[in-house]
Chains A and B, each alone.
Chain A
């Protein structure tokens, strides 16, 4: 039989393959494989085509250099067993709690520096540390309302943290649209699994945002603040506002008056209590940050300080997802929570340390060097893949600003079969689970964004670098949870809606009579 996976080399290379363990498919992928094997290549290609055109029709797009493209979605979903995901949930929640504690410490007394867990200069030299945010205390203590902790699966199949995103993590909209699209592209497979749903995310987020409202506001007004339609993630901003049922505002729709933030409406200014902002810190308030910013609203920071409005996520969160701080996070977890990290970091050298720098500069051609405040895969140099000139260039940069870089061994990201050019090939993936903190609990969306590097062997998965995505299925455990209640209510039969003459006639004899009449007319029969 012409199996889709006949020539698939998975499970034999250096990287961990999530579908094949060298011999056969892992149990979680059994049903997925069966469906795909029972399909002809042409049928599969047709479904892939339908998938893409449905994304273009819905406007699920991503902006790359000003060009609007359909977000590439692979047809084969990534399956994560419930057991593995429980670990992820615990690990992500733990990390978020530690980072929350760290942030409230950093912008308050700084006990963590006094206790020598992390040097103060690490924070002070971070470009994301904002003095303007010092001693702003969010009403319910939450600064990281939404976070995306990027995970990878190493050679042994263990999930590890690659980086933290606690500023404005994006991509959650694709988790929801991917699920809908795959459900209609692979209905058979979908029906044969019990997959934990992801559609509840907007309601969770809204509940968390409402819980964060200033004290004394019973019915808070929540808005989503977007930089505007030209932003790459505008689709996501609109989707979140739409599914939460809140206004999507731009900076020019807001104004600050006497410490309160108002939005301009046809009924005059109306107060805003919680702003889920998708604008970077630097652009948020021209009074405190970039004076030339047109995207923010002057006075926002002061309004937040006076407690009249809550910004989610809080200003200055960037210190916690700085890649240099990342190296200290396991220590922070032990320090604040007294727990061992559930999810380990990837081994990392801080180039600011002289010893580490020396070692790394010797082995520059076999390591990955990353700028500490980069995002979207910008500025990353992968040693084995870089040219001589690139490495020399990098060496100069590292010597000039060692604080700005970290180095990691080349981790082979795990692979999942991906349908490219009519055949299945292994492609590297990562996972960004999203967590929502409402102040009492950190909830992790069951699933997350699986990003996949579409070029063979490519290790950078960011969509701005030509990456795609996969739907991520977390299987519901069979043993966990209470027994489900079955619907036993049976509906009373209702009267059918009135049929009307046409339906009745379609089944009665009148039309034959009229036809008879017609045929007699045609034959010039008896004149009446």
Chain B
């Protein structure tokens, strides 16, 4: 098994389980013992996941990847010790973020629902052609990635979160805006799209959105 086997879901699940940090050890970049260089895939997963974490209000430093060979025991020890320090400083999940665990949980749940979609998007739009550490870091911190992230992931994530909220009870535009920390016009935009797809409907009487199948 290669570190490239690590699924986005594994990382998100660990955070959803309340872990305060996730450490991934992978082979040295460019030194794959096989021909796969799957550690670059792991690296891509990590960089994307960190962006997602930032988006949903989890400190991205809580996810760490270190590259080492089987003979690099010293690197393993140093990087784990360093990471433990980092996580200790951040405190329990939510503390450094100024978030309640109750608030983070539904956001993580919304992302996890999107994992199959994110995998498709990653393959179509987020592949880095050059396998170097610099190229990966440059791509995932660049403006183009930001644009793609907003277009492909952020919007879907907002809808996913709205659906999860509406599953609990009907809500007004203002209530949704407050819950997602978005302005009401952005919410209206998402809701128009979702009602066109027949996912939600607007109840004129209560002035609330509700899931279409609940009605």
Do A and B make up one complex?
no
Tell me the B residues contacting A by CB distance below 8 Å: none
Tell me the A residues contacting B by CB distance below 8 Å: none
